[in-house]
Structure 1
Amino acid sequence: MKTIKDVFLNFQQGLIEVYDTREIESIALLVLEEITGTSRAQIKAFPEDDVPGEALEKIQSILDELKTGKPVQYILGSTEFYGLNFLVNPATLIPRPETEELVEWVLESQKSKVKSKKSVSILDIGTGSGCIAISIKKNLPDAVVTAIDISADALHTARQNAVINDVEVSFIQDDILNTKFEMGNSKFDIIISNPPYVTLEDKLRMHQNVTNFEPHTALFVPAHDPLVFYKAIADYALTRLNKNGLLFLEINESFGKETADLLTVKGFTRIELRKDMSVKDRMVKAVK
């Protein structure tokens, strides 16, 4: 029999070429929790406990996949975001903690308005797994939430995630760079987006588990036009936001000033850049 401690040791030895020690520990913890059904606290408290043989086989096969650099979230098929569970697969980006901060900012902006009975209308552009749209709807149940994505496969996953999390969101397939978004005269109070913003220069610094496995259409932008999506979203928001409507964007930390300047030129006001938990320019809010 092997103990929990042995499993951690196996992961450290098997993944040292792929991840740093701290990451390996958190991956091992996640896998043990998922496969054995034991709580994180218990795993940490009783490292000498035996791991059943059946679980060990599953854990070994996961470790073999992890050695290829495949993200643990894709192997397990799900991840947590804003306290909710989401299915993820290679058609969807893996939601990041920084994006939770963007969701938090949107919810914060609505706190004073919760008492008014008017339901707020929200559009999420490039929804992927649906994590932004679904988390907002879960926390603002009266909001009318619509989400678009270019990928039919991503939308299939997003619809499943809406069912799992028991919320109603309208999902529509569309390309914001060439939009055919037939919404009649629909207007929104909030437009939010975490669009592709990774340049090829950024790619060189990124981990292989992102560059080899996550969907490139959701990540990368041409080096000669890194703000291509922000221009399209800003133009779209100008025609689709209500007066005093809010635009929230997750951004590339290297282009904070450029993104803010772009929004100023387009005519947005009260532009606010905000840093994430790693103190990097990560999001911007603007008012139409």
Structure 2
Amino acid sequence: MLLKEYRTYFIETLTPLYDVMEAESFFAIALEELKGWKRVDVALNPDAELSVNEVNRWNAVLKDLELLKPIQYIFGHTYFYGLDFEVNENTLIPRPETEELVEWIIHENKNRGQVKILDIGTGSGCIAISLAKNLPDARVFAIDVSADALAIAKINAESNNVNVTFIQQDILAAETLPEQFYIIVSNPPYVRNLEKAEIKQNVLDYEPHLALFVEDNDALIFYRKIALLALANLPQNGKLYFEINQYLGKETLEMLEDFGFCDVVLRKDIYGNDRMTSAISDFRI
């Protein structure tokens, strides 16, 4: 079968489940993963044929996509902040909005020198590793409750040539943090069950619910706990950064201000949604 013919078949098969642009992006990703080609190479090689073995490999990818399996899990990796990360069903797939949070932290702290940074709920390690890569003088630590997620994060730290200290810990059960830190950042679970109707089926079916959802009646449970720990483990003028639920920006800011943080800032993401906060520790408890 000609590759250009298979491309038509591939996209037509997926368009009942995905929009055309998404189906085309899946083809482009598969093309690079399976053949090492860019889209333009298909046009430049109009008579390129797929062998039987190649068709079988493409069909396996197509079948997984029909089952709504995220393409990042199909190929076992994704890109975040210019780095390559291994991912699987034990880790969330990093989002572009989280890249914005990382960019914010790097921009505000690029001249801080040898500060200590803690990422709480690290998952694949995307935040901690990106910060370690771009703030090379910092000492970076990362916590997660999942041993399986930490195993992936350690692989990612090694493959990206950074040193991150990983700690397995249920942050809700923690009485204190392992050290004092100048920066604490977290993208904790924040999706309420009432918002599940807004979540794509491929996320619900494949991504770890432990890292996604909180109860409707206590949506800020992780934020309160982390904020309290931060007050006890940040120095004067230490910084706390959160990725947040877009519907709970006002509530998150009020919580931080009630706890005594100052210079609390709420930022929108590229889609115009309330998505991240920063706050400064004004005192120690």
TM bucket normalised to smaller: over 0.9
Greater CA deviation, 160-169 or 10-19? 10-19
Residue pairs, 1:244-263, within 5 angstroms: 244-263=237-256
For residues 266 and 196 of structure 2, what CA distance do their matches in structure 1 show? 24
Matched length: 280
Aligned to 1:277: 270
Identify if the C-alpha distance between structure 1 residues 272 and 71 changes in structure 2 by more than 3 Å, giving closer, same or farther. same
- Residue pair 1:127, 1:149 contacting (<8 A) in 2 also: yes
Runs of 4+ with >6 A deviation: none
Greater CA deviation, 88-97 or 195-204? 195-204
Q: TM-score of the superposition, structure 1-length normalised?
A: 0.93
For residues 49 and 79 of structure 2, what CA distance do their matches in structure 1 show? 24
Deviations 1:49-71 (A, max 9, x none): 52431333211111001111110
Identify if the C-alpha distance between structure 1 residues 51 and 156 changes in structure 2 by more than 3 Å, giving closer, same or farther. farther
Q: CA deviation at 1:254?
A: 0.5
SS in structure 1 of the partner of residue 218 of structure 2 = coil
For residues 240 and 40 of structure 1, what CA distance do their matches in structure 2 show? 50
For residues 157 and 214 of structure 2, what CA distance do their matches in structure 1 show? 28
Q: 2:180 aligns with which of 182, 187, 190?
A: 187
Residue pairs, 1:57-72, within 5 angstroms: 57-72=56-71
Kindly provide the amino acid, as one letter, of the partner of residue 68 in structure 2. Answer: G
For residues 237 and 181 of structure 1, what CA distance do their matches in structure 2 show? 9
Q: TM-score of the superposition, structure 2-length normalised?
A: 0.94
Kindly provide the amino acid, as one letter, of the partner of residue 67 in structure 2. Answer: T
Q: CA deviation at 1:10?
A: 2.1
- Identify unmatched segments of 5+ residues in structure 2: none
Aligned to 1:227: 220
Aligned to 1:2: 2
- Identify unmatched segments of 5+ residues in structure 1: none
Kindly provide the amino acid, as one letter, of the partner of residue 31 in structure 1. Answer: A
Q: CA deviation at 1:41?
A: 4.7
| 2:135 is equivalent to residue 136 of structure 1 | no
SS in structure 1 of the partner of residue 248 of structure 2 = helix
For residues 213 and 265 of structure 1, what CA distance do their matches in structure 2 show? 37
- Residue pair 1:101, 1:276 contacting (<8 A) in 2 also: yes
For residues 212 and 47 of structure 1, what CA distance do their matches in structure 2 show? 38
Identify if the C-alpha distance between structure 1 residues 108 and 41 changes in structure 2 by more than 3 Å, giving closer, same or farther. farther
Q: CA deviation at 1:46?
A: 3.3
| 2:105 is equivalent to residue 106 of structure 1 | yes
Identify if the C-alpha distance between structure 1 residues 38 and 181 changes in structure 2 by more than 3 Å, giving closer, same or farther. farther
SS in structure 2 of the partner of residue 230 of structure 1 = helix
Deviations 1:194-249 (A, max 9, x none): 10011112211111110010000000000111111111111111111111011110
SS in structure 1 of the partner of residue 216 of structure 2 = coil
Identify if the C-alpha distance between structure 1 residues 51 and 188 changes in structure 2 by more than 3 Å, giving closer, same or farther. farther
Greater CA deviation, 212-221 or 20-29? 20-29
Q: CA deviation at 1:32?
A: 0.8
For residues 108 and 254 of structure 1, what CA distance do their matches in structure 2 show? 26
- Residue pair 1:126, 1:195 contacting (<8 A) in 2 also: yes
Deviations 1:32-87 (A, max 9, x none): 111101135535x5373524313332111110011111100001000000000000
For residues 107 and 245 of structure 1, what CA distance do their matches in structure 2 show? 15
SS in structure 2 of the partner of residue 107 of structure 1 = helix
Q: CA deviation at 1:28?
A: 1.1
Identify if the C-alpha distance between structure 1 residues 69 and 242 changes in structure 2 by more than 3 Å, giving closer, same or farther. same
SS in structure 1 of the partner of residue 128 of structure 2 = helix
Q: 1:243 aligns with which of 212, 236, 240?
A: 236
Kindly provide the amino acid, as one letter, of the partner of residue 42 in structure 1. Answer: D
- Residue pair 2:176, 2:229 contacting (<8 A) in 1 also: no
| 2:118 is equivalent to residue 123 of structure 1 | yes
Aligned to 2:75: 76
For residues 218 and 47 of structure 2, what CA distance do their matches in structure 1 show? 54
Kindly provide the amino acid, as one letter, of the partner of residue 72 in structure 1. Answer: I
Q: CA deviation at 1:181?
A: 5.9
Residue pairs, 1:23-102, within 5 angstroms: 23-43=22-42, 45-46=43-44, 48-53=46-51, 54-102=53-101
| RMSD of aligned residue pairs (Cα, Å) | 1.5
Aligned to 2:143: 148
- Residue pair 2:177, 2:229 contacting (<8 A) in 1 also: no
